[in-house]
Each structure stands twice: as C-alpha cells, then as structure tokens.
Structure 1
C-alpha cells in the first residue's frame, strides 16, 4: 500500500491454508483494493494494511454481502453470454492461467535468488522433482475449470446447463 506497510503472504496463511492460496488471496486483495466497489475497496485496503484480519473481513456481514453481490453479478453475466462468447472467454482464461503460472514461476525464481540459494536454502530436491518429473508433478486440468469435451461440454464454460435440484438457473 502506498501509505504504509502491506501484509505479506505469510500473514494470510491462517485463512488461506497454503502458500499458493495465500499468494492468490494477496493478489485478489490487491485487485479489490483498486476495484469499482467502494465496500470491497475498503475491506481489501484494511486487510492489506493490517488494520483488519482476513478472518474479520470474511465474516463481516457488510463485506460478505458485497462479495456475494459481486459474485452474483458475474454469474448472471455468464448466464447471458452466447456460446461463442463462452468459447472466447474460455480461451482467454486459458491464456490468463498460463500467464499466471509463468508469473508464479518467475516470482519463485526471484525469491530463490533473493535468498542467496546456498547449501540447504531455496528449492529442495522434491520441489525441483515435482516441477520436472511428470510422475510427481501436480496435475493441472487441460481446460479451464477442469471441463471435459470443450467449452460447451460437461463441466466446461458456457453452453446449456443441466437443471439443478431447484430447477434451471
């Protein structure tokens, strides 16, 4: 934050549970801190400054209402888009995901270099193996959201959706 200190990933581990989620949460908070919704900006800036814990922010009724309202707007917009728009969005999401992975790898390398990787520091052999050995590498879905059959198929983006237990959406 320009006006003071900003929390780091480690401070978000309590709510995020692991490093990747903490990094993602930190990015989301940074995005929300400059976004159009004044309530979400207030919440994100408070968490980033350390004035408010993530737990407090996510349990505050006003902030959770703002979060759910934003999610509902996104859901409705997704339901109104055409199949072509859904395919295009799926392609853009795949590109975004790849760029994000590249950025994460670059950050990991920068952090490793910043620690002066000597004996016993930095990347462990198991970390290196999981990045290079396909048997130990974490499996990523081939398509956004782990869908099968392409953007309009089962679990993919867009297309018609099966009716849920409460009828069609």
Structure 2
C-alpha cells in the first residue's frame, strides 16, 4: 500500500465533524490497514478508504464492512468481560500510557499544523528599508 495514493484528512470531511476528528479517523484507518492482527474485511475496508478507492461514507453503508466492525467490537467486549481483575488493571494502565502518548502526538501535530510558519517569505520593505522621516 506504500506506493498507492493516500487520502488526506480533508477527504474525510464528509463524515467528520471537524478537521481534528478527520485526522483521528484517518489515523485509526491507518492502524487498521497496517496491523496484521486486524485482517479480513475490516482491514480491507480501511485499505480501500485510505487509498481513495472507496469513500468513508460508502464504507459505512456497506453491510459486509459494518458487520466486520460489529463482530470485532463483540470480540473486544467478550474479551473484556472475561478478564481477571489483575488483567483489567493492567489493561487500564496500558491504555492510560497509550492515551498519554496519543495526546502528546496530537498536541505536537496540532502545533505543527496550526503554529506560525517559520518559512515566511516577505517582500522588500516599503521605502527601501530606510527609516521614517
């Protein structure tokens, strides 16, 4: 998939409420597309959307893809229900660490995207750079 065209955040604005949500959605799709543990229809859907061959809205309306998402959510729910108290605590700690990293990365990306550009090109000053009289 590395040689294929990749959609940008703006391409997801038909389903996202704002640019940050679009960025998070694209990032989530990328994780689904690249994680070998995902596999099947869910991974296929993410790859189709990221490549631009299918829009997110179309993917949402495709029963096979939404069935795969529902199945995965049920697997996650069942796994969570069958955890021991120690496993739950370990999962919470891992999630908290992961969430902290995600927040830091989002803050960094937001600062890069919204911050002032250091590559501003300006024209010559009026008056040839001489002081005001």
TM-score (norm 1): 0.64
Q: Aligned partners of 2:3 and 2:41: how far apart in 1?
A: 19
Q: Aligned partners of 1:34 and 1:97: how far apart in 2?
A: 20
Q: Aligned partners of 1:86 and 1:21: how far apart in 2?
A: 28
Instruction: Give unpaired runs (5+ residues) of structure 2.
Output: 121-133
Offset at residue 117 of structure 1 (A): 7.6
Matching residue of 1:27:
27
Q: Does 1:111 align with 2:89?
A: no
Q: Deviations over 1:2-26 (max 9, x none)?
A: 1221111111122121222211111
Offset at residue 114 of structure 1 (A): 7.9
Q: Does 1:41 align with 2:43?
A: yes
Q: Secondary structure at the match of 1:21?
A: helix
Q: Secondary structure at the match of 2:34?
A: coil
Q: Aligned partners of 1:47 and 1:99: how far apart in 2?
A: 26
Q: Secondary structure at the match of 1:14?
A: coil
Report the CA distance shift for 1:114/1:33 in structure 2 as closer, same or farther (over 3 A): farther
* Count of residues in Structure 1 that have an aligned counterpart in Structure 2: 118
Matching residue of 2:130:
none
Could you say which structure has the greater relative contact order, defined with CA pairs below 8 angstroms and 6 or more residues apart?
2
Offset at residue 49 of structure 1 (A): 0.9
Q: Does 1:16 align with 2:16?
A: yes
Q: Aligned partners of 1:33 and 1:19: how far apart in 2?
A: 21
Matching residue of 2:68:
66
Q: Aligned partners of 2:87 and 2:13: how far apart in 1?
A: 36
Which structure has greater helix proportion? 2
Matching residue of 2:93:
91
TM-score (norm 2): 0.80
Instruction: Give unpaired runs (5+ residues) of structure 1.
Output: 119-169
Offset at residue 113 of structure 1 (A): 5.6
